Amino acid sequence: MHPSFETWDIESESLESVENRIHDGVPREALQARAKGYIDTFSRLFPWSLPEAGGRILEIGSGLGYVMQAAAERFAPASVTGLDVASNMIDKAKQRLARDGAQDSRFDFKLYDGVSIPFEDNSFDFVYSVATIQHIPKSYAYNLFFEINRILKPTGFAALHLLSYALLPSHLSLFPLKEEVLKQIRNEVGHWHFFYSQQELLYVLSVGVGVGWLACREENGSIWLTFSKDQEVAFCNDTTL
């Protein structure tokens, strides 16, 4: 396991501690609303990419399952699978869902190594990820783009949330750049942070990965994007490839 993944797999940590740590101190009572906000943003920006009812959905980096709940409520899928690199996080998600009376027969979880998504080609109608890719080293993130494109059905869409370089000034007030760089050089366990530009994503996904339709928007330090295998159009805000 990559050192940056180990911070999510602390077996001795309580559910309450995990819940506070990974959500940046957001109060528990606000977490479901925040999760719905992520889904609302995808729905507002990219309404054509949303899955039809009865589809098969995958979340990458499912954490404690809050966004899985929101996705299930909004899209009425046949199943929602939570993919995570940490077995302890999967255990804590199941505990959290049970605690909150949110267990759902449509939910299941899958552990993976952060490299190869353990599903066959063309498996999912909708693949999404929020507040996760920002913590993944870029080589792993780029590989993840290839894997997502592989497991998407030809008619499916991916919807991803990433951090923009525009957020860097406020981030550096909490995590100085020198500290962040040395943490990565030393392969220290902890929250690693990575930032993206629209142009970077446009070329990596369209030219490097070879996705079909690609659209992205930047709002308040976040980049929101969607892509599919079909068509050959790519644009980020006003930039078209």
* Radius of gyration for the chain, computed over Cα atoms and rounded to the nearest angstrom: 17
pLDDT at 234: 64
Please measure the distance between the N-terminal and C-terminal CA atoms of the chain and give it in whole angstroms: 36
pLDDT at 161: 98
Predicted TM-score of the model (pTM): 0.94
Residue 42 in contact with residue 226, Cβ under 8 Å?
Answer: yes
Residue 57, strand partner residues: 80, 126
* Structural domain that includes position 9: 3-240
pLDDT at 232: 62
pLDDT at 241: 55
Find where tokens 């999510």 sit: 8
Strand-strand pairing, 124-129 and 234-236:
unpaired
Residue 96 in contact with residue 15, Cβ under 8 Å?
Answer: yes
- Single-letter amino acid, residue 77: P
Find where tokens 């309450």 sit: 16
Q: What is the pLDDT along the chain (241 residues), one digit of tens a residue?
A: 788 898 888 888 999 999 988 887 789 999 999 999 999 999 999 999 999 999 999 999 999 999 999 999 999 999 999 999 999 999 999 999 999 999 999 999 999 999 999 999 999 999 999 999 999 999 999 999 999 999 999 999 999 999 999 999 888 888 889 999 999 999 998 889 999 999 999 999 999 999 988 999 999 999 999 999 876 666 677 565 5
| Domains held by the chain: number | 1
> Which CATH number do you get for residue 104?
3.40.50.150
pLDDT at 240: 55
Residue 82 in contact with residue 107, Cβ under 8 Å?
Answer: yes
List the Cα angle 129/142/176 in 5-degree steps.
80
Distance, in Å, from the CA atom of 116 to the CA atom of 144, rounded to the nearest integer, reads 8
What DSSP assignment string belongs to 79-111?
A: EEEEEES-HHHHHHHHHHHHHTT---TTEEEEE
pLDDT at 156: 95
pLDDT at 4: 86
